[in-house]
Amino acid sequence: MELFHAIALAIIEGITEFLPVSSTGHMIIYSSLAGIASDEFTKLYTVDIQFGCILSVLVLYHRRFLTDPRTGTFTIPSYLKSVPARWQPMADFYSKILIAFLPAAVIGFLLNDFIDSLLENVVVVALTLLLGGIVLVFIDRITNAEPKDGDVSVPDALRIGFYQCIAMIPGVSRSAATIIGGMFQGLSRKQAAEFSFFLAVPTMAAASGYKLLKTYKLLQPADYQTLLLGNAIAFVVGLIAIRGFVNFLTRYGFKVFGYYRIVLGLLLLGLMAAGVKLDVL
């Protein structure tokens, strides 16, 4: 892969990973139109530059991961009653992230080959982009207009975790699935988006780490340099994208992203109908 394409893919990843628009769909379009070969390193690169995006979440929300900024009272699950009081808020935070992560960890492990087969079908990506866009256009109307107060509950976290599993279908968008899942649990747009960011950390770390573990023996020294550069770019762009997305989402909602997904899905279908060969990643 040429350096220019590596930089472009990292920028695309940083922008789209946390938006409900499918980073997979965008990278398929760019890679196909740019003529990037779908070799083992390209497949690894497009997954492992997620480490940069993970770091952007940890930096922006370091207080939530390292300390507890919440004030007032909150309900501690019964299984944490034995934890010292000063550690209960952090134990509560991390336990809910773990609970939400478990469905994807289990189902992803059991259905890994099936998920890979879906990724090989660009029609699936196009159709899920299109259908997901329609959902986003109407999501603000069909979810609770009065978001509930308080933190994400344990049942909420588990349900959002199952929504995340829907994103194993390429083109759905992990961010879209978890944010929509959060809003169906009565969370506000901002609450749902931020919990989606937090949940991205273990989910993307597991996916990226597993991919790297499987293929690292094939890497050359120059490949590591490209990966480091790509992650650095994805980190910086991810910082900007997260801040901009939360502000935009809080103010305007999902409709714009829904229309964008519909256009993108139709573009993919149009390119295939025109005979353009779209390679999977």
- State the pLDDT at residue 78: 67
Q: How far apart are CA 102 and CA 56, in angstroms?
A: 23
In a domain, 222, yes or no: yes
Q: Taking a C-beta distance cutoff of 8 angstroms, is the pair 128, 172 a contact?
A: yes
Residue 170's pLDDT band (cuts 50, 70, 90):
confident
In a domain, 111, yes or no: yes
157: alpha, beta or left? (left if phi > 0; alpha if psi -120 to 50): alpha
Residue 235's pLDDT band (cuts 50, 70, 90):
very high
Residue 69's pLDDT band (cuts 50, 70, 90):
low
Q: How far apart are CA 232 and CA 96, in angstroms?
A: 29
Top-ranked range on mean pLDDT: pick from 24-38, 102-116, 224-238, 244-258: 224-238
In a domain, 112, yes or no: yes
Quote the strand ranges of 147-231, DSSP E.
Answer: none
Q: Is residue 152 predicted with pLDDT exceeding 70?
A: yes
In a domain, 76, yes or no: no
Residue 74's pLDDT band (cuts 50, 70, 90):
low
In a domain, 106, yes or no: yes
Look over the chain and give the mean of its residue pLDDT values, rounded to a whole number.
84
Decide which of 1 and 205 is more confident.
Answer: 205
Q: Is residue 246 predicted with pLDDT exceeding 80?
A: yes
Pair of tokens at residue 166: 């829907």
In a domain, 70, yes or no: no
Question: CA dist 256 to 253, 260, 267, Å?
Answer: 8, 6, 17
Among the listed residues 141, 179, 161, the one whose alpha carbon sits nearest the alpha carbon of residue 22: 179
In a domain, 281, yes or no: no
Contacts of 158 (CB under 8 A, 6+ apart): 99, 100, 102, 103
Q: Taking a C-beta distance cutoff of 8 angstroms, is the pair 64, 35 a contact?
A: no
Contacts of 47 (CB under 8 A, 6+ apart): 207, 208, 211
Structural domain boundaries enclosing 125: 3-65+89-273
pLDDT, one tens digit per residue, over 15-44 is 999 999 888 778 877 887 788 877 778 888
Q: Is residue 72 predicted with pLDDT exceeding 60?
A: no
Range with the poorest average pLDDT among 96-100, 165-169, 196-200, 226-230: 165-169
In a domain, 263, yes or no: yes
Decide which of 166 and 82 is more confident.
Answer: 166
Q: How many domains, the chain?
A: 1
